[in-house]
Amino acid sequence: MTTDLVESITQKRAEATSREVRAVYPDATVSIEVSGERGIITAYQERYVLSKEFVESESSLRNPRLLVEYAHVLQAKSRLVVLVPRDRAAAVRLRLLELNNWWLCYYQLHYYEEGGGIKMIDRRTFRRLMGLPPDDPPRGIEVA
């Protein structure tokens, strides 16, 4: 994993975040920061953080305090989005389920690929990544 990939994914996701947040908050500002092999995207309006997104790499995922950092974002009533390498997506989703024990269920998880593609992880994608068969019968519409 190179810092260049983290930078490009962070920039690509920041553009999407800007569109998503400004659709609701037209005066919002989006800033990006890449330090080491981790990108952070923050959307804010005045002094309020609306959204915080983390582009994680193999090395940044080793930080044992990630869940605490994510919990702080959710406790502040901000949107949390986490992007991870594709091969770590299923394991990270299982770790994020710990947040549900604290009633902090409002987060999104995406994976990214070496080519720069980004995909949101929903139940169907998670089951595919885990090598599980699709739900039978299919469940209703999932709210991510």
Reported confidence tier of residue 103, pLDDT bands at 50, 70, 90: confident
Question: What is the pTM (predicted TM-score) of this model?
Answer: 0.86
Is residue 78 predicted with pLDDT exceeding 90?
yes
Reported confidence tier of residue 101, pLDDT bands at 50, 70, 90: confident
Where do the domains of the chain lie? 3-129
Reported confidence tier of residue 75, pLDDT bands at 50, 70, 90: very high
Is residue 1 predicted with pLDDT exceeding 60?
no
Give the mean model confidence (pLDDT) for residues 64-69. 94
Pairing relation of β-strands 107-112 and 48-55?
A: unpaired
6 SS3 class: helix
Give the mean model confidence (pLDDT) for residues 6-35. 95
Is residue 138 predicted with pLDDT exceeding 90?
no
What percent of the chain is helix, strand and coil (3-state, nearest 5)?
A: 40, 25, 35
Predicted local distance difference test score (pLDDT) of residue 55: 97
Torsion of CA 117, 8, 115, 52, to 10 degrees: -30
Question: The CATH number of 3-129 is which of 3.10.590, 3.40.1350, 3.40.50, 1.25.40?
Answer: 3.40.1350
Taking all residues of the chain, what is their mean pLDDT, rounded to a whole number?
A: 88
